[in-house]
Amino acid sequence: MESGDDRTAMDGRGTEAPGGTPEIDELRRELAEKNDRLLRALAEADNTRRRAQRDREDAVRFAAETLVRDVIPVIDNLDRALDAARAAGESSAIVDGVDLIRREFLKVLERHGVTRYSALGERFDPNHHEAIARVVSLDKEPDTVVGETVPGYSLRGRVLRPAQVAVAAAPDEDAA
């Protein structure tokens, strides 16, 4: 470069070669800051777009959640009615018909992503089970589900209602 020229010599990487002016250094720093802000804004916009897409997909996948939560007690009542009829020794066509209706109802729910699960024999998991009783047991390992009041339900992996369970506990050593 000729002397008196205000341009700065650049090396092969696009960075300033020695001999730059303070104004050019300031402009480069401002450009780098603006470029950094632009990249961050683009990344945030992309994250927002992905989050909105995921929220839309979840809204579609779990649209029936409220309806299913309202239906679960109906299934529980059908179970109780069948248990009571069988305990009373009923073996009529009506009992069999109610049982068929209950099973068909469960099949319809399964086709729409609802799963009914039992917890008996499993290790207690507070994400899937609600402990309503503690049972001292010598033959079961502590924190094992030994009884179930109502089964749990999930919709595409999301727990709608945890199974209500009784959990085994070790006998207290100081009580012996």
pLDDT at residue 78, rounded to an integer: 93
User: Which of 19-23, 33-37, 55-59 is the least confident region?
Assistant: 19-23
pLDDT at residue 60, rounded to an integer: 80
DSSP characters for the chain? --TT--PPPB-TTSSBPS---HHHHHHHHHHHHHHHHHHHHHHHHHHHHHHHHHHHHHHHHTTTHHHHHHHHHHHHHHHHHHHHHHHTT---HHHHHHHHHHHHHHHHHHHTTEEEE--TTSBP-TTTEEEEEEEE-SSS-TTBEEEEEE-EEEETTEEEEPEEEEEEEPPPGGG-
Confidence of residue 74 (pLDDT cuts 50, 70, 90): very high
Confidence of residue 176 (pLDDT cuts 50, 70, 90): very low
pLDDT at residue 89, rounded to an integer: 84
pLDDT digits (tens, 9 = 90+) for 107-159: 999 999 999 999 999 999 999 999 999 999 888 899 999 999 999 999 999 99
Fold entry, domain 65-175: Nucleotide Exchange Factor Grpe; Chain A, domain 2 (2.30.22)
Bridge partners of 158, per DSSP, are 155
Residue 6 clears pLDDT 60, i.e. is over it: no
Residue 175 clears pLDDT 80, i.e. is over it: no
Q: Where are the domains of the chain?
A: 20-61, 65-175
Residue 1 clears pLDDT 80, i.e. is over it: no
User: Taking all residues of the chain, what is their mean pLDDT, rounded to a whole number?
Assistant: 86
Q: How far apart are CA 40 and CA 45, in angstroms?
A: 9
Confidence of residue 166 (pLDDT cuts 50, 70, 90): very high
Verdict on whether the full-model pTM lies above 0.85? no
